[in-house]
Amino acid sequence: MDFTFTPEQMDLQARARALTENHLFPYEEEVQETNALSDASRAAIRDAVLAAGFNAVNHLREDGGQEFPLVNQCLVFEEFGKATNMLGLCPWMPAYCLRFGTEDQKQQYLRPAIRGEIREAFLVTEPQSGSDAGGMLTNAVKDGDHYVINGLKCFASGSERADYMLLHCNVDGDPKKATLFLLDKGMEGFEIVKTPKALYNGPGDHPWVQLTNLRVHESKILGGIGQGFELTKDWFVEQRANIAARCVGVAIRCAEIAADWAAEREAFGRKIQDYQGIEWKLAEMAVEIMAAKALLYRCASEYDNGLDRKAAHARMSAVKLFCTEMAWRICDQSLQIQSGHGFMMDNPVARHYTSVRAERIVEGTSEIQKVIIGGQIKKRGLGVYTGLMTQPNLTGGSA
């Protein structure tokens, strides 16, 4: 077992850090002030991401992506995560499941998305069904060589700017036929009906989208009818690892700011770092980050080394749960160490405080991760999580 990173990996992370500090940090204030990112700023970030070779780190080289192993994806997303206001999401990663598209679909959507020419959004959540995606009501009915789709989606992040969208819906009202459709910008029957203001200021919105008799050609089905959930399973592993990595970045930036502050700030005639109450907070932060990184990189490495899909899915739930909750705790403690000075929005910690809250909700809430973990323990035993040196027996059942 060797957890040593290679010089190439350290260089990769250093380049990601440079991109973050030179091309994401400068836009934090703009996003905080305007709750948006101008076209010019988007273009500048896009150019920097392309120049650094960090576009579509998750996609195959044959399609124009960087094809990074998951460990390397985590190394760069740890750095991107340090940028506040969710700017860490600017280095784009088109949906993993697009690689299962037809040649025409790859040509029209995947490859231009990889090049950063078009942007996507993903429409799953509905007002009455979030975690329980099986409860969605949006439905497609066949009409000749088209499908007619009706429904209401909410929190469709980035759909206000997206050139194409992946829509998750039922066919014939049957949840067993949950299917992914590719939608194009400007289609008749597609309408943004509401844009709620989020807790944090970010580069994009989270609109509600009404679909009314939207006609989609059958060639826009990704995979096949009923493939919706199957196609998104691998994506969950990747997305949860990347969220966890960004959260490690959030925690490191917040902890560093707190440590620097505690080394300078004086109260009652002493540096506050010399009060045990503060010293212990910093110690706990350091240990939590250390544990999170060990968990994240171990599980990402197992995935790269061929851990089967069920085991990867099971373990990445634990990684996502731990890293997102850890980042939240550390952000809160960093703010507490800086107190009034940490509470103001000119402080990166205050801005992280609002956005990192979302990470415990998206891609499966913390409770849903525990449901997955609890289910695995019942089905396969604690060894799925506590087994260190060998792969637990994960045959049988589904993740």
Ligand X SMILES: Cc1cc2nc3c(=O)[nH]c(=O)nc-3n(C[C@H](O)[C@H](O)[C@H](O)COP(=O)(O)OP(=O)(O)OC[C@H]3O[C@@H](n4cnc5c(N)ncnc54)[C@H](O)[C@@H]3O)c2cc1C
> Does residue 124 bind ligand X (CB under 6 A)?
yes
Element (H, E) at 24: none
Is 247 within 8 Å of 356 (Cβ atoms)? yes
Pairing of strands 190-194, 208-217: antiparallel
Exactly one of 87, 156, 166, 183 binds ligand X (CB under 6 A); that residue is: 156
Exactly one of 44, 48, 52, 361 binds ligand X (CB under 6 A); that residue is: 361
Of 115, 96, 93, the residue nearest 180 (C-alpha): 96
> Does residue 123 bind ligand X (CB under 6 A)?
yes
> Does residue 93 bind ligand X (CB under 6 A)?
no
> Does residue 362 bind ligand X (CB under 6 A)?
yes
Toward ligand X, which CB reaches closer, 113 or 262?
Answer: 113
How far apart (Å, rounded) are the C-alpha atoms in residues 255 and 259? 6
Toward ligand X, which CB reaches closer, 61 or 197?
Answer: 197
> Does residue 367 bind ligand X (CB under 6 A)?
yes
Is 143 within 8 Å of 185 (Cβ atoms)? no
**194-233 footprint of ligand X as x/- string (CB under 6 A):** ----x-------x---------------------------
SS3 content of the chain, % helix, strand, coil (to 5): 55, 15, 30
Toward ligand X, which CB reaches closer, 208 or 297?
Answer: 208
The tokens 């544990």 sit on which residue?
291
Token pair listed for 124: 């799953």
How many chain residues are in contact with ligand X, going by CB under 6 A? Answer: 19
Beta bridge partners of 123: 167
> Does residue 170 bind ligand X (CB under 6 A)?
no
How far apart (Å, rounded) are the C-alpha atoms in residues 183 and 220? 7
Exactly one of 171, 358, 384, 394 binds ligand X (CB under 6 A); that residue is: 358
> Does residue 371 bind ligand X (CB under 6 A)?
yes
Toward ligand X, which CB reaches closer, 130 or 381?
Answer: 130
Question: Min. distance of Cβ 389 from ligand X in angstroms?
Answer: 32
> Does residue 381 bind ligand X (CB under 6 A)?
no
Per CB under 6 A, the segment of 39-47, 126-134, 173-181, 298-306 that binds ligand X is 126-134
Of 70, 57, 71, 68, the residue nearest 5 (C-alpha): 71
Cα 68 versus chain centre, distance:
16
Per CB under 6 A, the segment of 155-163, 239-247, 264-272, 279-287 that binds ligand X is 155-163
> Does residue 368 bind ligand X (CB under 6 A)?
yes
| H-assigned helices in 125-227 | none
> Does residue 33 bind ligand X (CB under 6 A)?
no
3-state SS, residue 102: coil
How far apart (Å, rounded) are the C-alpha atoms in residues 220 and 147? 10
> Does residue 95 bind ligand X (CB under 6 A)?
no
Is 180 within 8 Å of 228 (Cβ atoms)? yes
- Distance set, CA 204 to CA 35, 57, 122, 133 (Å): 8, 21, 13, 23
Exactly one of 34, 102, 107, 131 binds ligand X (CB under 6 A); that residue is: 131
CB atoms within 10 A of CB 308: 14
Per CB under 6 A, the segment of 43-51, 223-231, 326-334, 356-364 that binds ligand X is 356-364
| H-assigned helices in the chain | 7-19, 28-34, 39-52, 70-80, 103-105, 111-114, 228-264, 276-304, 309-338, 340-343, 348-355, 366-380, 383-386
Question: Min. distance of Cβ 369 from ligand X in angstroms?
Answer: 9
Exactly one of 20, 72, 84, 125 binds ligand X (CB under 6 A); that residue is: 125
Toward ligand X, which CB reaches closer, 169 or 312?
Answer: 169
Question: Min. distance of Cβ 259 from ligand X in angstroms?
Answer: 29
Beta bridge partners of 183: 165
Per CB under 6 A, the segment of 33-41, 59-67, 117-125, 211-219 that binds ligand X is 117-125
> Does residue 157 bind ligand X (CB under 6 A)?
yes
The binding site for ligand X (CB under 6 A) comprises: 122-125, 130-132, 155-157, 198, 206, 358, 361-362, 365, 367-368, 371
